[in-house]
Chains A and B, each alone.
Chain A
Amino acid sequence: MNLDKNTKRFLISIFVLLNILTVIYINRPVPIKEVQNNKLKEILHPSSLDSMRSAAGLFFTNYGELVGLGTRWLMFVLQDKYNWFYLIKAKYADSSEVILPVPRQGDRSVLQRILFDFKDAKFQYNFNYRPYAREHYASYLCRKYPVHNGVKIRSIIFEFYKQNVLEPKEALKRNTYLDPTVRKEIAGVFNCHTENVK
């Protein structure tokens, strides 16, 4: 297809605007969303406002998702105020509990720690806030480690350890930044259904 220079530039300009507007729309801050809604409310009927908002939202969200521009950029916005880690265990039919040889626990080689396990910190961070992600992981672990010493797996246990980090002023007073108390919680016990265990 041979397009003249101006038509080509016009089409590219539309594409350019589409991409920039998608990123801006998806990332627009809450106060701007409110101002935009209030202004539109003044000039539009509520039902047309709703349909316009959902049409714009659907269009930009779907396009963003399709091409990969649908990210809300929140780079390092929130800092953890406590230290935490998971200990993931398997419980077998003879009641024995085994610490599973998965990333971030057990014996890991240097290469595994610095290169191959590069996703797992974020994965654990994700499943910290999304219990259903833990369910998926548990189901996977049931399939991966079905038997130990000839005994069948019964469940996967997620132990969550949490230690508060002191406020900087308190840390200065106590000359340490860690609260000495380490709290243990059971973040989840997932039964391994027999259909999962092959």
Chain B
Amino acid sequence: MKSFLKYWNNFWFSKAELIPISIFRICFGLLLCLIFIAYLPNWERFYDANGIISLHDKNILHYQNLLSIFYLTEGKIPVILYWFIGFISAVAFTVGYKTRIFTIILYVVYSSMMNRNYFMVYGEDNITRMLLFYSCFAGLNHRFSVDLYLNKKLKSKVSEIWPIRLMQINIVLIYLFSTPYKLLYDPSWVHGEAIYWTVTSNNWSRFPYPDLFYKWDGILTKLFSYGALFIEFSFPVLVWFRKTKLIALALITALHIGIGILIPNVTFFTFCMVCSFWVFVPERFIEKFTRAKNK
């Protein structure tokens, strides 16, 4: 029992590595800024009372999750104001100004967006909200931030690792759950044909030579499909060991960038996943990398 408690405390309550999580904040913040910019011309279409899900619809309560600040303040605050609040919060989050407060605001706005119009909810939204939820508890501003510039004491302040661990475990669980489902629900993954169906899809693919994926007995589709499965299966295990962590991170990042190149409509999802991998990067690797660069 004692050794379990020791391990538990060590795993959840040791000091967080501050540089990687600060880099995560900057990358994730920049992505959020871009997402808000992409939302701007669509904002009223998606979230206004007269938008796609009209608040004047008598069946609205069937479709509407009431946990949305847009719904709760309808008629009192113009919905476009929330775009400005979200965008300003994303900028503040990126530069690390009043980080905790703006993270909470971002989380509330983002959750409200998802609850107001769930027809528009993507995987990237679920991941963004999960990362924002845990970010509310994390000390993301201890490096490279305006908060640090304004308060030098922040540099020596300890930040516990548990919110980062929760992010890590949630990310790992995404692969742990979705990968077996691939084999259970779609035989094309078992037969190594999944990537063929992806690259030939007019809705998802932008790959200019889909023909390559049925030629030569479909060797490319098998290679990519089984390769993707191998990376997704191995990542949740390999990422926890010091020796294999960087390889696992490099492979999963390459996989997602590959997906982003092949499938244009999931670009933000790709960016979101790639940003989230910063929470796994060990500080010693960044220090080693910068030392080597300075030599």
Spell out A's residues near B (CB within 8 Å). Answer: 9, 12-13, 16, 19-20, 23-24, 27, 29, 65-69, 71-81, 83-85, 112, 114-116, 118-119, 121-127, 130, 132-133, 136-137, 139-140, 143, 163, 165, 168-169, 171-172, 176-178
Contact = CB atoms under 8 A, between A and B. Distances in A.
Nearest to A83: B202
Contact of B181 (A77, A84, A115, A119): A77
A143 to B, nearest CB: 6
Contacts of A65: 65, 67
Contacts of B181: 29, 74, 77
B178 A75 contact: yes
Taking chain A's interface residues, is the majority helix, strand, or loop, or is none over half, making it mixed?
helix
19 contacts: A20-B166, A20-B169, A23-B170, A68-B132, A71-B130, A72-B177, A74-B185, A75-B174, A75-B175, A76-B198, A78-B185, A83-B202, A119-B120, A119-B122, A121-B203, A123-B120, A126-B119, A169-B214, A172-B218
Interface residues of B, number: 73
Contact of A73 (B178, B196, B264, B267): B178
CB-CB nearest 10 A-B residue pairs: A79-B197, A68-B129, A121-B265, A171-B214, A75-B178, A83-B202, A71-B126, A27-B177, A168-B214, A73-B178
B260 interface: no
A136 B132 CA distance: 30
B12 interface: yes
Contacts, number: 161
Contacts of A112: 41
Contacts of B258: none
Nearest to B196: A168
A122 B177 contact: no
